[in-house]
Chain A
Amino acid sequence: GEDVEQSLFLSVREGDSSVINCTYTDSSSTYLYWYKQEPGAGLQLLTYIFSNMDMKQDQRLTVLLNKKDKHLSLRIADTQTGDSAIYFCAEKTAGRRALTFGSGTRLQVQP
């Protein structure tokens, strides 16, 4: 079955890089996503990666995918206080119509 896991909390200093990790179990993943949730709001898509890619870079965001280990990471360069939020990884698999989400990682950026 599908299972997506993340650590619950990460604290970094402003200007440092943040790395948020995610592991998943379903090898039939087609797309993997990173969503951002600000307090009291819905989720916004940050970026996604197709499962046949190893890396995707989009401005300050770098996504790395290790399909062999079923490991996904999101690196945020030069982390700012506005990056403080909950970050969810999610996967789309061949056998499921809806996305499966992880538990979310709360990123706290200290000035």
Chain B
Amino acid sequence: DGGITQSPKYLFRKEGQNVTLSCEQNLNHDAMYWYRQDPGQGLRLIYYSQIVNDFQKGDIAEGYSVSREKKESFPLTVTSAQKNPTAFYLCASSTRGTSPNTGELFFGEGSRLTVL
């Protein structure tokens, strides 16, 4: 079945450590996104990529890094520079094509990161 797979589902990290969250999609989508979800704050955009080997910062990119070496994969690294990394991280993808392109995002199941 086509979809987006995020791993791990749960992750614990000590302060000062970097951690990488995986996101893989087999929907043949060009665009991929990372959002962060905190209680009562909705989803905030971290990074997005419209095409392989290209990505742009979102609204809260500080302390995060990404790569887009393959169309299917868009890993997110939470670095030690991120001041408050404990959150639920959601990866999404979408098509970039022309009509009909509603801009709909398809989401993975999320990864919950807890910093101890």
Contact = CB atoms under 8 A, between A and B. Distances in A.
Contacts, number: 58
Chain A, interface SS category: strand
Interface string B24-41: 000000010101000011
Contacts of A99: 103, 105
A103 B41 contact: yes
A99 B35 CA distance: 10
A8 B38 CA distance: 13
A102 B42 contact: yes
B69 to A, nearest CB: 20
B82 interface: no
Contacts of B104: 33, 45, 48
Top 10 A-B pairs, shortest CB-CB distance? A42-B107, A103-B42, A101-B43, A92-B103, A43-B107, A101-B42, A42-B109, A98-B48, A98-B45, A42-B108
Interface of A: 4, 6, 8, 30-31, 33, 35, 40-45, 48, 50, 88, 90, 92, 97-104
